[in-house]
Amino acid sequence: RSGADPLLQVEKAVMQFGGLKALNEVDLAVRPGTIHGLIGPNGSGKSTMMNVLTGIYKPTAGGVTLAAGTEAANGSPGKRLDGRTPSEIALSGVARTFQNVQLFREMTALENVLVGLHHSFQGTLFDAILGTPRRRREEREARARAMAILDFVGLGSLAQVEARNLPYGKQRLLEIGRALALDPVLLLLDEPAAGLTAPDIAELTVIIRKIRDAGITVILIEHHMDVVMGLCDRVSVLDFGHKIAEGGAREVQSDPKVIEAYLGS
């Protein structure tokens, strides 16, 4: 697969809610190994796009394809994601975080990541119930992997802290860690910097770049323009469900159509 082929391709996606087209024939091509920004004023359709990509919503029309060359594609030219369930899409290698933090609040940071790793257990129910050696080995391996993920997102020393007792910025990083536990090829982040302090945003930025450098493609919805400018290789702009601009971060920021969309909001 050549580097120019997109990892994710969205073709003419339409998402209609009653009389409202939250997405109106939106095309999107995300190149592998990049951080692709998705920006636009409030209500422009960004979260709707995330929900279409992850199977929460079934698009009214249009297609979503994960490229060949991924495990998911299984040698075929690409795997259609539209119409599949959220768990099928997650197992295809597309992980996400939500605009509002969604963690198991009473569970520790480690346990939250272990939940994300659950899919990797190979043993049968029998192994689980009887605690067979196979199961015990898998659990040891899962804990080691979860700890490695926590270290990666800077939470290694907070593994035993309950999620609800973590500062908000750390909760957001834990959500990213839990998504990474799926071993994704594509990670979708919906406003990860929302509500964070400047030092938290700086830490988050470093981690998102590390994720990209580890070979995971990222789609980043973000309204902090400095974060978008600092991180994104390419940016698509939505306004009222239409894609109004696309290109390099700087190019898009100076596009009159984009400036007008933000001023009008």
What HEC string does 72-95 produce?
HHCCCCEEECCCCCHHHHHHCCEE
Q: Evaluate whether 23 touches 15 at the Cβ level (below 8 Å).
A: yes
Residue 154 found at the interface with ligand ADP (CB under 6 A): no
Give how far the C-alpha of residue 162 lies from the chain's centroid of Cα atoms, to the nearest Å: 23
- Minimum CB distance to Mg ion smaller for 46 or for 170: 46
Listed ranges 38-46, 88-96, 121-129, 131-139: which one lies at the site for Mg ion (CB under 5 A): 38-46
Choose, by CB under 5 A, the member of 47, 108, 236, 253 that binds Mg ion. Answer: 47
Residue 108 found at the interface with ligand ADP (CB under 6 A): no
Residue 46 found at the interface with ligand ADP (CB under 6 A): yes
- What lies within 8 Å, CB to CB, of 253 at 6+ separation is 225, 229
Place of tokens 């979503």: 64
Listed ranges 18-26, 46-54, 139-147, 246-254: which one lies at the site for Mg ion (CB under 5 A): 46-54
Residue 17 contacts which entry, ligand ADP, Mg ion, none (Cβ below 5-8 A, type-dependent): ligand ADP
Choose, by CB under 6 A, the member of 2, 42, 76, 254 that binds ligand ADP. Answer: 42
CB of 119 to ligand ADP, least distance (A): 27
The first and second tokens of residue 209, run together, are 């770049």
Q: Evaluate whether 103 touches 171 at the Cβ level (below 8 Å).
A: yes
Amino acid letter, 205: T
Listed ranges 46-54, 160-168, 194-202, 228-236: which one lies at the site for ligand ADP (CB under 6 A): 46-54
Residue 247 found at the interface with ligand ADP (CB under 6 A): no
Choose, by CB under 6 A, the member of 1, 12, 17, 225 that binds ligand ADP. Answer: 17
Residue 43 found at the interface with ligand ADP (CB under 6 A): yes
What HEC string does 215-239 produce?
CCEEEEECCCHHHHHHHCCEEEEEE
Place of tokens 């939940």: 115
Rounded Cα distance between 120 and 173, Å, is: 22
- Minimum CB distance to Mg ion smaller for 51 or for 108: 51
| Binding interface with Mg ion (CB under 5 A) | 46-47
| Binding interface with ligand ADP (CB under 6 A) | 17, 20, 22, 40, 42-48
